[in-house]
Amino acid sequence: MTGQELTVSITTEVEAPIVQVQGVSRTLGDRLVLDDVSLDVMRGEVVVIIGPSGAGKTTLLRSLNNLEQVDSGEILIGGVPIGHRDTVTRKPVGTSELARRRREIGFVFQHFNLFPHMTAAENVWNAPVRVLGLPKGKARQDALALLERVGLADKGESRPSQLSGGQQQRVAIARALAMRPKVMLFDEPTSALDVEMVGEVLEVMRELARDQMTMVVVSHEMRFAREVADRIVVMDAGRIIEDAPPDQLFTNPRQERTKAFLSTIH
């Protein structure tokens, strides 16, 4: 673990990473889904996780806001362990406290998971009102502004069922942003979309990156990764096998398995 100590000692001088994954493992049945994974993400950084299916990308991402629990290791968001009351006793965090910690983390799902019984605008302002206690009027205004930002200013009154997949996913992004998260997590945000709708969602994400949002993205969109990512993390069989800036990774991958994976994509 000398590499780990080195990173920590360097970064503490500047600023602590906003996401810290420290030696995290997770077994499902007899399969090691996450195998001693460590990863730091700095504020404003965009990290794209790629790798073959079953590599543990989604499990890692879902662990970051405790939608999945890890068996060992620790995940800290803004220095606070997401799943444990503290790092010493490692008692599981209570439901209310977990809910509070999750406010800081936006999550965008592969299948959008919009609330079908609400309009697009309500999807966006619902949590700020119910969770943060914002006045409805203010939250509605913010929601409309956010919908405008994702290019859906005129869709506030539409139901999710009346929107296309791409539009639904953009509402989902606006919904996550409404909680003013410190980190945004994206779980294959475009893989459930028809090809012609992928671009509009990636464009919104690109803009978020430009606005210095900290993002961790599980994606198969290599062009997006190449353009937007500060770092690309390659996972295989539950491990991080490579972690490098896109230029370096695409032109000169160090690992054979990375090469093999990249060749399957294009």
Say whether residue 161 binds other proteins (CB under 8 A).
yes
Asked if 20 and 40 touch (Cβ cutoff 8 Å), the reply is yes
Least separation in angstroms between residue 172's CB and other proteins is: 8
Q: In this chain, which of 103, 149, 220, 239 binds other proteins, going by CB under 8 A?
A: 103
Q: Which two tokens stand for residue 48?
A: 């794209």
Q: CB within 8 A of 244, min separation 6: which ones?
A: 231, 232, 253, 254
Least separation in angstroms between residue 139's CB and other proteins is: 13
> Whose structure tokens read 């800290």?
76
Name which of 59, 53, 13, 67 is nearest 39 in CA terms: 59
Say whether residue 56 binds other proteins (CB under 8 A).
no
Least separation in angstroms between residue 77's CB and other proteins is: 13
Q: Give the separation between CA 138 and CA 69, rounded to whole angstroms.
A: 35
| Range in contact with other proteins (rule: CB under 8 A) among 3-11, 50-58, 154-162, 248-256 | 154-162
Q: In this chain, which of 31, 90, 91, 100 binds other proteins, going by CB under 8 A?
A: 100
Least separation in angstroms between residue 253's CB and other proteins is: 33
Number of H helices, E strands in the chain: 10, 10
Nearest residue (CB) to other proteins, 40 versus 188: 188
Name which of 225, 52, 142, 70 is nearest 61 in CA terms: 70
Interface residues toward other proteins, by CB under 8 A: 65, 67, 95-96, 99-100, 102-103, 105-107, 109-119, 126-127, 130-131, 159-161, 172, 175-176, 179, 192
